[in-house]
Each structure stands twice: as structure tokens, then as C-alpha cells.
Structure 1
Amino acid sequence: MKTLVLGATTNKERYAYKAIHSLIDKSHQVVAIGTKEGMALDVKIETTKVPFSGIDTVTLYLNPKNQQEYYDYIISLKPRRVVFNPGTENPEFYEILKKNNIDFEVACTLVLLATNQY
């Protein structure tokens, strides 16, 4: 399964970085988009809307306002689901995802991974 971490960072203290680390530890393929290029472990952080293929899950680390510019992009990836981590809850986007038959969860990626529910 391939996961897109949206809101990725090279800052090891941030949850987006910790999620990349945990995903890799659990043998998930990871791609990442952030505001600054860099590396999070062995994952290159892209700064543009790369047309990745085979995305199973998009896990969000962007506040609702910053998610808006990614709505169409996320829909175009046709992920199985979108995970809204704490602080990213967005009822407007939930409705868009429902209309496009994309599942979503309001959950913490780190907790899902730690409890084998990812």
C-alpha cells in the first residue's frame, strides 16, 4: 500500500515526520508533499502536485484552509481513503470526498499504525 503524506516536513519533532517514520517502519510505501523540498528519512518531499499513481491512503497534516488548494488534486489521485489527523478535521472536504466515493477517517495515523489498524 502506498501512502501520500500531505503536509510533510523534515522537522523530526513534527507529527508528519513521525508518521513517515512509522509508515516506513511498518513497510508501507511513502510519498510526500510539503512546502519545502527536502528528505524525511529516505522519502523525498515534493513541493508540487505530483501525479502519483497507486495511492491507497492520503494522510493529511494541513489545516482545513490549506487543504482547499489540494481538493481536486486528492480526488484526481483516486485514493481508497483520506485520513484527517488531529487538527485537520474538515466537514466541507468530507462532503466532497463522499460525492467522489472516497472513504475518510478522522483519526491519528500514528495511533492507527501503533494499534495495527492502518
Structure 2
Amino acid sequence: MSKKTLVLGASLKEERYSNVAIYRLRKNNIETVAIGLREGIVDDVKIHKELLPFIGIDTVTLYLNPQRQPQYYEYIISLKPQRVIFNPGTENPEFYKMLSENNIKSEVACTLVLLGTGQY
């Protein structure tokens, strides 16, 4: 099964966890796409500013605080991912409920820890 992952809230800044996550996902040979506020390249992944209709997304890993998430609710649900990972600081019970209603699993976890422990 593909684990194609969308990093939502991707950053070009090397000290940001979303940036590190892109590198680690690629190191684990996971197909990765990214959306952020600024376009650019991290490793071999292009960060897009626009909400593209990516196909075959298994996982969306969020790096957006809950106040910034509502504008992405419909977009994320439209991608029909298997799961959405809520990294530390992104926890959002309102969105968990919406995802559940659309048969999408919510996982409150750290993508970096999941990758590091082989649980991704």
C-alpha cells in the first residue's frame, strides 16, 4: 500500500519540523508532496502555494495550528486520505469529528517520531 504523504504547512526554513519531516519522509522512500505559504524546494519535493488536486494521498500530516486549519477542511476531505496526522500543536477536536464523519482516520502523533520508530 502506498503511503504517499502531503505535508500541509510545509516550510523552507530548515529549523521547522515540517521541513525536517519532508527530508525524513524522502529518506524513507515515501512519495511526498507539499503545500506551504512560500514556493520552493526541500530535498526533491516542490512546495506548492496552491491547493492542487493530488491523487492517491494516503496521509496528510498537518503543520498548521488549529486556527489556520478551517480553510483547509474541505480540501483535505476532498483528497480522501486514509489518515490525517495531527502533529504537536495542531490538535483539533472539531476537525477530528469531521474527518470521522468522512471515514478518515485522525491520528494525534508526531510524524518524526512515527518515522523514527518504524510506526509510520
Residue 85 of structure 2 corresponds to 83
Report the alpha carbon displacement of residue 56 of structure 1 after superposing the two structures with TM: 0.2
Work out whether 1:10 is the aligned partner of 2:12.
Answer: yes
Instruction: Please report how far the alpha carbon of residue 96 of structure 1 lies from its aligned counterpart in structure 2 after TM superposition.
Output: 0.3
Give 1:15 shift. Answer: 0.1
Distance in 1, matches of 2:38 and 2:12, equals 8
**Post-superposition CA distance 1:89-112 (Å, at most 9, x none):** 000000000100000100000000
Task: Give the counterpart of 1:69 among 68, 71, 74.
Answer: 71
The CA deviation at 1:69 is 0.4
| Deviation per residue, 1:16-40 (Å, 9 max, x gap) | 0000010001010000000011111
Report what 2:47 is aligned to: 45
TM-score by length of 1: 0.99
Percent same amino acid among aligned pairs?
64
What letter matches 1:85 in structure 2?
N
Q: Which amino acid aligns with 1:107?
A: A
**Unaligned stretches of 5+ residues in structure 2:** none
Where do 5+ consecutive residues of structure 1 fail to align? Answer: none
TM-score (norm 2): 0.97
Amino acid at match of 1:92: E
Please report how far the alpha carbon of residue 62 of structure 1 lies from its aligned counterpart in structure 2 after TM superposition: 0.2
Q: Could you report, residue by residue, the CA deviation over 1:36-94 in whole angstroms, capped at 9, with x for unpaired residues?
A: 11111111000011000000000000000111100000000000000000000000000
Report runs of 4+ in structure 1 exceeding 4 Å deviation.
none
